[in-house]
A = this chain, B = another copy of it.
Amino acid sequence: MDARADQKGGGQRIGAVMAEIRSRIAGRGLVPGARLPSVRAFAKAMHVSASTVVEAYERLAAEGLIRSRPGSGFYVSTPLAPLSLSEIGPKLDRAVDPFWVSRQALEEGDLLKPGCGWLPSSWMPEAAIRRALRSLSRSEDRVLSDYGTPLGSPQLRQLLSRRMGEHGIPAAPDQIILTESGTQAIDLLCRFLIEPGDAVLVDDPCYFNFHALLRAHRAKVVGVPMTPAGPDIEAFGNAIEEHKPRLYITNSAIHNPTGATLSPVAAHRLLKLADRAGLTIIEDDIFADLEHEPAPRLAAFDGLDRVVHIGSFSKTLSASVRCGFIAARPEWIEGLVDLKIATSFAAGRLSSELVLLLLTDGSYRKHLEELRVRLSRAMDATTGRLAALGITPWLQPRAGLFLWCRLPNGIEAAEVARACLADNIVLAPGNAFSLSQSAGSFLRFNVAQSEDARIFRSLERALSRCG
């Protein structure tokens, strides 16, 4: 019963086993995530040797139809798994898988997280949150226990309308929909605006969760190289010609991961191209309140015609309180609200009331001022410590928390990330952000999460080992 004894007609037998598994998956006898029959049992059932089954399973795994989990057998791949593996490219390993970075950053425990995308909880306005919870405990009954209205809190939408107005974005309160989060806002817009197979433009590099989200929508993701002043306009125009995209998702200011700021001239050219091509733009502006001086916003130039503006409070108030928003052209609001009801029924009323209390608490402006100063200092300090290791930022950001840094001598960021993880330090390797996988020697540093000296000692060791 060993491989040799099975050699004659082996190819045919392997093919038969593969065909049987394929047909069971197609017929839904084996659903995604289901464990395949054990090698021994299936060999017996199919009247072949165990090694034939092993070989068949391994070929199916190579095709992506099933997955092996060491020590526990083979499983039918879930719909997302083959997509996520196939689209990231051949260099994929778990350390540059976007999900890996998110998950490590979200896990609790004794980890240092210079690779994570948000502020430490000690930087958040905890006294104000405690105060807001106490005032919330005195609200009227329906605030505490009833669903919110379809659009969400009128007072919070009024306030957001005023705030956007200050940035030149003309969003009336009834053009604003509250959502569970910034991510859910983009997700809702993708459901509304794109069909499976539609092309969507993103910056290369961009926030890695855009890749994951767009894959979940079965979109064809197309990257446009990023420059310090915004996406490369020529490449943007070419991508429009070639792919006829329906949508472009970007951050105009405090770009994630590069910290870049869109220049007015680039904004104008982008909008002209978008206009000609009938392209919708989602401007994800969740870092807005961290700016020292407001940079141009596409939504302001465009007047919310083909630009949709989204935001949230996870980066400046609390990531534990989920609340985001969409500002869009009036004719889209009804369809978006229908979709919001269909897929999440109502956004959290309690969360939006809490955000409203926090934004109208007299201390919010002071919190932001302190936060910006603290971030500036941390950015200087981190830049200095990285320079000592020969690590230089691609650009000096005007504000925010990110430094997008090139490692010296073409050292592989994924290797450095793996080495530092052994010291309980979570880094964000560049290729997790890059559709073209062209950021292999970059790391994104969150300066607010880089205050511990152990990070730089570990980095130094990793660089000398990987260099």
Q: Is A143 a contact partner of B80 (Cβ separation < 8 A)?
A: no
* Contact in complex: A149, B187 (CB < 8 Å): no
Residue of B nearest to A105 (CB): B147
Closest Cβ–Cβ distance, residue A284 to chain B (whole Å)? 12
A106 interfacial contact with B, CB 8 Å: yes
Contact indicator A348/B345 (Cβ below 8 Å): no
Asked if A342 and B145 make an inter-chain contact with CB atoms under 8 angstroms apart, the answer reads no
Contact between B320 and A350 (Cβ–Cβ < 8 Å)?
Answer: yes
Q: How many copies does the complex hold?
A: 2
A144 contacts B129, C-beta separation under 8 Å = yes
Q: Which residues of B contact A143 (CB under 8 A)?
A: 320
CB atoms of B137 and A133 under 8 A apart: yes
Choose from B31, B133, B213, B346 the contact partner of A306 (Cβ within 8 Å): B31
Query: Pick the contact of A318 from B125, B129, B342, B350 — CB < 8 Å?
Result: B350
Mask for A388-415, Cβ within 8 A of B = 1, else 0? 0000000000000000000000000000
What residues of B have a CB within 8 angstroms of the CB of A341 in the complex? 99, 102-103, 106, 209, 212
A187 CB contacts on chain B under 8 angstroms? 343-344
- Contacts of A334-392 to chain B: CB distance below 8 A: 335, 337-339, 341-351, 353-354
The distance from the CB of A387 to the nearest CB of chain B, in whole angstroms, is 30
Chain B residues with CB under 8 Å of A244's CB are 27-28
Also in contact, A144 and B118, with CB within 8 A (given A80-B339, A335-B81, A342-B213): no
Q: Are B346 and A319 in contact (CB under 8 A)?
A: yes
Q: A33-B329, A124-B144, A332-B78 are in contact. Are A216 and B107 (CB under 8 A)?
A: no
Whether B331 pairs with A35 at a CB distance below 8 angstroms is yes
The reply to whether the CB of A438 lies closer than 8 angstroms to some CB of chain B is: no
Chain A contact residue count (CB 8 A cutoff): 95
Tell me if A121 and B103 are in contact (CB < 8 A).
Answer: no
Interface residues as binary, A245-268 with B (CB distance below 8 Å gives 1, 0 otherwise): 010000000000000000000000
A138 CB within 8 Å of chain B? yes
Interfacial chain B residues near A180, Cβ < 8 Å: 180, 184, 322, 344, 348
A350 interface neighbour in B33, B213, B246, B321, Cβ under 8 Å? B321
The reply to whether the CB of A34 lies closer than 8 angstroms to some CB of chain B is: yes
Measured CB to CB, the nearest residue on chain B to A331 is B33
Shortest A369–chain B CB gap in Å is 18
- Tell yes or no: A29 within 8 A of B by CB: yes
Within 8 A of B (CB), among A127-164: 129-131, 133-134, 136-138, 141-150
Q: Is the CB of B142 within 8 A of A246?
A: no
Q: Please give me the residue from chain B that is nearest to A212 by CB atom.
A: B342
Instruction: Tell me whether B342 and A320 are in contact (CB under 8 A).
Output: no
Question: With contacts A80-B339, A84-B338 known, is A145 near B344, CB below 8 A?
Answer: no
- Say yes or no: is A325 at the interface (Cβ < 8 Å to chain B): no
User: What residues make up the interface of A, taking CB atoms closer than 8 Å to B?
Assistant: 24, 27-35, 75, 78-81, 84, 99, 102-103, 106-108, 118, 121-122, 124-126, 129-131, 133-134, 136-138, 141-150, 180-181, 183-184, 187, 191-193, 195-196, 209, 212-213, 215-216, 244, 246, 277-280, 306, 314, 317-322, 329, 331-332, 335, 337-339, 341-351, 353-354
4 interchain residue pairs of minimum CB distance: A28-B278, A124-B145, A212-B342, A78-B335
